[in-house]
Amino acid sequence: MSIKKIITDKAPAPIGPYSQALQIDGRILYTAGQIPIDPSNGKLIEGDIQAQTRQVMKNLEAVLLEGGSSLASVVKTTVFLKDMNEFTAMNEVYAEYLGGASPARSTVEVARLPRDVRIEIEVIALVEK
């Protein structure tokens, strides 16, 4: 089995001992959870759940592209929400990015997320290249 670390400066740099994603045997990509950080300045995106979800999706897209995949090839997502009452608003933005792919999904309300953000998303995708 071959494991390739995926790192791009178009998504937030890892703040610990982990990779943005791992590509397994050139076939499957597992991303780390992404939070709403603007990779150009390292700052959190302020705003509502939709603004934060939009940035998370942009970060995930950048990691996927670096790993030879895309949002269209996502097969599974896990969404971590600070408040499940924001599910509908999050889901509207999520559908803009992943509605066509319709991956399997789990959504979990959590007590706290890194840097007190409202959302974190991780994905599993097939490698296209």
Q: Looking at the structure, give the CATH architecture of the domain made up of residues 3-126.
A: 2-Layer Sandwich (3.30)
Please state, in angstroms and rounded to a whole number, the distance separating the CA atoms of residues 31 and 24: 11
Q: pLDDT per residue over 26-57, tens digit each?
A: 999 999 999 999 999 999 998 999 999 999 99
pTM of the model: 0.97
Domain ranges of the chain: 3-126
Residue 129 has pLDDT above 80, yes or no: no
Residue 113 has pLDDT above 90, yes or no: yes
> Quick one: which of 115, 119, 26, 36 has its CA closest to 68?
26
Q: pLDDT per residue over 53-82, tens digit each?
A: 999 999 999 999 999 999 999 999 999 999
Check if the beta carbon of residue 36 is closer than 8 Å to that of residue 117.
yes
